[in-house]
Structure 1
Amino acid sequence: MTKKNDFKIGQCKLCLKDDTTLVDSHIIPDFVFRWLKKNSFNRYLRTSIVPNKRAQGGITEKLLCEKCDNVTFGGELEAPFADTIFNPILLKQKDSEPFIYDKVLLRFCVSVLWRVLIFGIEDAKKTKGLTVNLDTIILGMEDLANQWREYLVDNQSSWTGLNVYFLRFGGAGLDPRDIGPGMHTYSQLTIDMGSFVDPYMWEPKIYAKLGPFVTFIPITDYYLPLWEKEGISSLNENGGLLSFKGRKLPEHFKLFMQQRSDSSSGMFQRMSDIQKSKILKIKNENLIEYEQSDEYLLAIKDIQEINLHDQS
């Protein structure tokens, strides 16, 4: 939602209103980062994009007017998702197997992925000329973004895009060990996002990872039968039931998540020596708190599994 003291005048990307105040909108909703800060021992966040900069929240862009950011997305989609799914499941106040959802979930997922897509378009424009056929790719992305925008601005509209998937890892969700050794931290704690122009995007898709929850929309239907084969269903726009019990991910998606995990875990190595020493100092000064954090406990699981895998 909005950072009120940071704005500019322009066109809202959602309602298309001109000459309106654009607020700094979170690409990944702010409540996800508030959750992560509670589970991060030093209360600061770093991203793989700028690993040497500490941040209080996630990536923001001036995309939306205040009404679209705070009401259309914040009040009508983000708040219901946080209140009825995200927080209750993570606080173990709600049974998540089977997973029952209503019609808000699909719209929430599309709203997040639309923002990721818009961010990907703007990022791709910065590298025009460096990649073959990037102009054509950008035009295709812009057309897709407009289709999703038209769906989001009309509460009575039906979803006509490809399948929207929503996954949950850990607990009663998908087992991180099925992906490969050392996947607990990435699958259950990391926040991530990517568009289909990213390298190693095995299945062309728009992808967002909200801690232990993953949502994505494939751009082509080539891989859809592989998801059906594993019994993993896409979301129904009218609501329904999801079950992850006994389910496994398609092999191509396991490889994709391993790639994203490797990129995330390499962030520490890309930090400056000064930033590395700051993190180690905070750990040493808050050792008890650190050893009780999800960050530490999941890291221990990862190390143990990797060691066993290397010895086998």
Structure 2
Amino acid sequence: MNKCRLCHEEKKLEESHIVPKFLGKWLRKNSATGYLRSNEAPNMRRQDLFKIHLLCKACEDLISDDESYFANTIFHPYMNRPEASYHFAYDERLIRFCAGLSWRVLVYLTEHLNDEDNIEIQKYKLKLENFLLKKIPNLDQYEQHIIPLELNSQSPLNIKHSNVNSYFFRSVDIDLLDLKDERIIYIKIPNFIIIANINYKYISKMRASRVALKKGIIAPKNYYLPIEMYNYLDDRLTFIKENINDEISDVQTQKILEDIKKDPDRLMKSDTLKAIKADHYSSLSKPSK
């Protein structure tokens, strides 16, 4: 028996996914090989996203309900839409999904990877715990934001990097960003960026992406990212290209090729290939020097 990290009761703990399980299943189903590889361990192929013993069954079920709502109402309809336009209405379960995800990510990053004890982080965790347990009705300054990403969309990052689409469309990434002693939680899932505010003073500029407490719409808008976020993504994309992609061993490269040879049709139908083509198209579209 251990103490559940959410309700703090002594109970048997479930294996909890930090990032929802359905995202790993979607990535694997639509991949060229049927396996997952993380940015942190590119030479290890996996069949699931990372999970740890974190929550009791009751709390796991509570969060899973919100994940199912996001999957069925936003994620899958967005990914399967027949045309570029989109307009998805949501209710209070979306902010619960974002809050549950950002809380789990922060607990994992600060308590399991790093032993970080910061008063602002502790206040954030407590606020979200009470919100998820339905003890309080709102999150006040701890806003949750969601930004849809488009395959083939153009941004300043495309001009500099040849892996933007692969990163945005085919990866999962999490981080706690320190922006000059102001902090936000960064979560990148396929085709969405989720940002949770801890104490970033310019968060009001991101109003277009703010998740409403009761109901709202996810549709094309003039989404705003702080310049610090662009700088972070610039560094992150460079790191992935130079320090991760180039680290895949010859043995693992051969395994990838063997998987593709076994089922070439899977490659041709995969989202992996779509992302690679989008990156190639973006590189061809760059202005010549």
TM-score normalised by length of structure 2: 0.87
Q: Which moved more, 1:265-274 or 1:47-56?
A: 265-274
**Equivalent of 1:115 in 104, 107, 123:** 104
1:177 aligns with 2:154: yes
**1:26-85 superposed Cα distances (whole Å, 9 cap, x missing partner):** 00000111111111111111112222221111111111011211x21112x111111111
How many residues get paired?
A: 283
Are 2:139 and 1:149 equivalent residues in the alignment? no
Cα 1:202–1:47, aligned 2, differ >3 Å: closer, same or farther? farther
**Residue 179 to residue 65, structure 1, CA distance change in 2 (3 Å):** farther
State whether residues 27 and 59 of structure 1, in contact with CA within 8 Å, keep that contact through their aligned partners in structure 2: yes
Determine the C-alpha separation between the residues in 2 that align with 1:295 and 1:40.
5
Mapping of 1:247-266 within 5 angstroms? 247=223, 249-265=225-241, 266=243
1:179 to partner: Cα distance: 4.3
Per the alignment, in what secondary structure is the counterpart of residue 48 of structure 2?
A: coil
Does residue 214 in structure 1 map to residue 193 in structure 2?
yes
In the alignment, which residue of structure 2 is the partner of 1:129? none
> How big is the shift at 1:246?
5.0
Q: By how many angstroms is 1:23 displaced?
A: 1.3
Q: Match of 1:153, as an amino acid?
A: L
CA separation of 1:201 and 1:41: change in aligned 2, threshold 3 A: farther
**Structure 1 CA distance for aligned equivalents of residues 92 and 180 of structure 2:** 28
Where structure 2 has 5 or more consecutive residues not aligned to the other structure, the ranges are none
2:255 is equivalent to residue 278 of structure 1? yes
Residue 112 of structure 1: how far off its partner (Å): 0.4
C-alpha distance in 2, partners of 1:190/1:176?
A: 16
Distance 1:140 1:162, change over 3 A: closer
**Residue 90 of structure 1, CA deviation:** 1.3
Alpha-carbon deviations, 1:112-154, whole Å to 9, x = none? Answer: 01000000112112xxxxxxxxx553x5423321221111111
Partner of 2:45: 54
2: CA distance, partners of 1:115 / 1:56: 21
* TM-score normalized with structure 1 length: 0.81
For the 8 Å contact 2:89–2:216, the answer to whether it is kept is: yes
Provide the rounded CA distance (Å) in 2 between the counterparts of 1:210 and 1:92: 18
State the secondary structure of the residue aligned to 1:180.
Answer: helix
Asked whether the 8 Å contact 2:184–2:200 carries over to 1, the reply is no
Look up the SS of the partner of 2:220 in the other structure: coil
CA distance in 1 between counterparts of 2:50 and 2:180 reads: 21
Q: Among 177, 185, 199, which residue is 1:196 paired with?
A: 177
Cα displacement string for residues 260-283 of structure 1 (whole angstroms, at most 9, x for unaligned residues): 333444423223322122113323
Aligned AA for 1:78?
Answer: E
* Deviation (angstroms), 1:250: 4.2
2:6 maps to which residue?
Answer: 14
Match of 2:270 among 290, 293, 305: 293
For 1:179 and 1:239, how far apart are their aligned partners in 2? 32
2: CA distance, partners of 1:46 / 1:201: 32
Q: Contact between 2:78 and 2:86, CA under 8 Å: does it hold in 1?
A: no
Q: Using the TM superposition, give the Cα deviation of residue 311 of structure 1 relative to its aligned residue in structure 2, in angstroms.
A: 3.4
Gapped regions of structure 1 (runs ≥ 5): 1-8, 126-134
168, 186, 192: which one aligns with 2:167: 186
Matched residue, 1:3: none
Cα RMSD, aligned residues only: 2.7
**SS of the residue 1:51 aligns to:** coil
Identity, % of aligned positions: 24
Deviations 1:206-236 (A, max 9, x none): 12222112211122232324435xxx24111
Q: Which residue of 2 aligns with 1:43?
A: 34
1:202 touches 1:253 (CA, 8 Å); kept in 2?
no
Deviation at 1:10, TM superposition (A): 0.6
